[in-house]
Structure formats: C-alpha cells, structure tokens
Structure 1
Amino acid sequence: MTQRPYVLLSVAVSIDGYIDDATPQRLKLSNAADFDRVDQVRAQSDAILIGAETLRRDNPRLLVNSADRRAARVAAGKPEYPLKIAVSARGDLDPELHFWHHGGDKLVYTTQAGASKLGDRLAGLAEVVALGDDIDLGALLDDLGRRGIARLMVEGGTRILTQFLAAELADELQLAVAPIVVGHAAAPRFLGPAAYPQHRMCLAEVTRIGDVALLRYLPRQSGDAAHEC
C-alpha cells in the first residue's frame, strides 16, 4: 500500500478565530519571527497545498524565501522549492496569479469538470489532475504518496482546513494565535461547520514567538494518548 504523506496544517488566527478580516487588503496576523518560522516549515516540506479561494483572495507566491534554506534543500538532493499544490473543484483559476509564475513545479487537483477548464488555461504552468466528480482528499493523498511526497504542508483556507480536520486526515496542526480581535461577520474563519471527530486533541507544544502564541496539536491522538503526549 502507498504511504500517504505526513499532513501538517499551518494557520495563523486572531484571538476570535479569524484568518483574515473583511477588507480587500490581506490582514497580516503573524509577526516577523513567526513568518520566518513558517518559511522554515515550508523548507522542511516536500509540498505545500492551498485552496482555490485563498489563492484567489491572497494571490500568494507561496515560496521558501530564505536563500540559505533553498540552498540547503538543493544540497540535500531536493528541488529548490517544494512542489506547490492548488485544489479547485470548479477549475476557476486565473493563469495570471503569482502562484504559477514563481518557484518550482506546480500541481492542481480538481474534478473532471474543472479539468476541462484548466487543461488549456494552465498549459505549461502546472500539471492538472482530475480526481473524479468530487475532490476526494484521501485520493489526493494517495496520489501524492505515489509521487514520493512524504511531508505535506497545508496552508488553507477555511474550506480546505475544515475538510482535512473533519476527515481525520491531519497529523499535526500548528496554530499561531495573534493578539488581534477581528470581529467582522463577513471575514473568513479558521474552520467552518462540519462533523468533526469528538475527542480532545493532543497539545504537544506551546511556544511564545514575540506576541504570538504557537500551539502545536496532534489531531490523531485522542483519549489517554492525548493526555500523555
């Protein structure tokens, strides 16, 4: 059986659980030291995954910014940048987004309907993989395992993070809590409604990074294991 990658969810939230505000400009919740920590986590990953909604809203490059970390990857026999992955059910992705024009290889997981839109639109920019009529995250992880991806970093947004946690497919959650209150009803939250597993996660580590609190959870560990971790 193919070994699925280790799945690490990485997200910064406000005290009241938002990942952004409702303004057109992106809200920077992390501080400089925490952004550098995220860059390190990216450098340690084989692939970085993002959902289509976040891709459209934030237009990120999703790179390893440190030249030293990229050089260390190359010295270890890895590509300079992790594989960048977008997930889009509808295939509504603009080929002019920064994501496609920076970094190394790109991969898009979509549906059969989405693939019919993206095949020509992203020709020469990304490999497009159709998973069927719907996005099956288990099938997505199986495909990444067959590609040799051992460590997957998931950076959002709400829908993707919700799906991974609700399906019990996350091995680790790194939650950076910023000392900000957003309070905008229209702003995106960390998680949406779903049938989540009803157990206490294992809190493996708490770290202070300036004014940010980093909480490291292991979602798969529950019961006695959660209390002993």
Structure 2
Amino acid sequence: MKPHIICHMITSLDGGLHPSRWTASPDGNRAGWSTAYETIHKTMNADGWLVGRVTMAEISKAGAHPPAGPFDVSRSLHVANRDAKSFAIAVDQHGKLHFNGGDLDGDHFIVLLGKDVSDQHLAELVADGVSYIVSDGQEMNLSSLLETLGREFNIRRLLLEGGAGVNGSFFAAGLVDELSLLVAPAIDARKGSDRFIEYGQDGLAGKCELSLLSCDKLDDGLLHLKYTVKASA
C-alpha cells in the first residue's frame, strides 16, 4: 500500500518558493513564517518527508566520493535502516546526490533512483549508510517506488515538500491525497520566479481536483489552507 501523501508547502501570495526574495510585511516576518511551517510539519505526525534532487542537494551539501571497485551491489533495493524515527527521502533519477552519512538529525536517508544509475554510485550510497530504491523501468515509476517505501520501511504517512518539479510529478501521477499550503502576506513577482508546483507545458489541467477542507488564520499574517486532492476521472 502506498503511503498517504500530504504536500506541505509555504508560498508567497503569487506562489513564490523562496522567502528571501519576497516583499516584507508589517503583519509578520520570515522567521515567524518558517517557525509556523516547521511546527505544522511536526504536528502532522508523518513517518518521513520527500523532496527533489535540488532541494536535497542544498541539505546534504556533500561532494562525490566514489569508492574503488569492483562493486557488488543490489540493482533494486538496499535497506540500511528500517527502524529510524523518521525518513528523509529524495527523488534523484540520475544519481547526482551525495551524502556524508546515513541520516540527518535522526531522519534516515532514502534515495529513489532511476534505472540507469551506476553501480559505483550505488556503492557510494551503501558505504555512506544510505538506503535506496531503483526504479524498475526507464521512466521513474513513482507509484511503484511509493509501494516499496510502504512495504520495506513501513512508511504510512509521508510529507511531500518540493521543489516544484517533484511536486508537479506527484500531482500529475495522482499520488497526492492532501495539500497543506501556508500562504504568507508577501509577493515575489520576479519574472520567471520559481513556483511551489509546476508540470510541463500544459500544467495539471484535467489531472487533479482540489476540495477545500479548512482555512485558518495564523499568527504573522499567515493563512493555512488545507485541501483534499484526487485524480480527475
């Protein structure tokens, strides 16, 4: 069974992703907005969180350190830790992420990889204590990868926390169950600015439907919007 997926994000009023680029507001400040986001993250009681390659690279900050061969690695699944208190999961189709260890503040790293990733990269992940799952087809089969996460790591509830491309891919595949969106009293407005979700040239029209669950006014001028999400018929 795939985990229950909640996309949890914070944005400006125009969907911007990076608070450092937003306008200031007399109603609140960036520190308060970040604190509210993290507080809600914790109250959701998820078994882990998932981001894309670019976001995880900003977190891990490690460089390549490939081990010497020969390599004897599994081409499908490596489980380094099933019993972590939480899991930090990244989608990395081409095997570009590197790590300096197997966890982040107790959250165990799991990488979801494309079929053509090299044995050398898999061996590096094993040496660092990182778990991985390799997609079984040329295209990343997100549904199958989520099923494996649920089965092998007992992940039942998972927060999807960007970036825009990975969020869009999960919505387009009909894998998101809820959207939790914090909207800050700020505007980005830069030309070509990153949004919290994007998907190809045609977007998500006809791919999913959202129904409002709640709208709460929080401190620092924030609105917390919650929606159910279902794939379009």
In the superposition, the TM-score normalised over structure 2's length comes to 0.74
1:196 aligns with 2:204: yes
> Can you give the 5+ residue segments of structure 2 that lack an aligned partner in the other structure?
22-29, 62-81
Q: Once the 2 structures are TM-superposed, how far is the Cα of residue 101 of structure 1 from its aligned partner?
A: 4.5
- Correspondence for 1:185: 191
Structure whose alpha-carbon radius of gyration is higher: 2
Residue 208 of structure 1 aligns with which residue?
Answer: 217
Give the % identical residues. 24
Task: Report if the CA contact (8 A) 1:177-1:213 is conserved.
Answer: yes
In structure 1, the residue matched to 2:119 is 116
Bigger Cα displacement from structure 2, 191-200 vs 177-186: 191-200
Q: Judging changes above 3 Å, is the alpha-carbon distance between structure 1 residues 79 and 124 closer, same or farther for their aligned structure 2 residues?
A: same
- The 5-angstrom pairing of residues 89-100 of structure 1 reads 89-96=93-100, 100=103
> How far off its partner does 1:113 sit?
2.2
SS at match of 2:175: coil
Conserved? CA contact 2:102–2:108, under 8 Å: no
> Which residue of 20, 33, 36 maps to 2:36?
33
Pairwise CA RMSD of aligned residues?
2.8
Q: Does residue 88 of the first structure (1) align with residue 98 of the second (2)? A: no
User: Are the equivalent residues in 1 in contact too, given 2:102–2:128 (CA < 8 A)?
Assistant: no
**More moved, 83-92 vs 105-114:** 105-114
Rounded to whole Å, the distance in 1 between the matches of 2:59 and 2:190 is 18
Pairwise CA distance, 1:107: 1.1
The answer as to whether partners of 2:94 and 2:114 remain within 8 angstroms in 1 is yes
Task: Specify which structure has the higher proportion of strand.
Answer: 2
Superposition deviation, residue 38 in structure 1: 1.8
Return 5+ residue gaps in structure 1 as ranges: 61-77, 224-229
SS at match of 1:114: coil
Q: Deviations over 1:134-155 (max 9, x none)?
A: 3111111111221222111111
Q: How many residues align?
A: 198
Closer, same or farther: CA 185–56 of 1 in aligned 2, 3 Å? farther
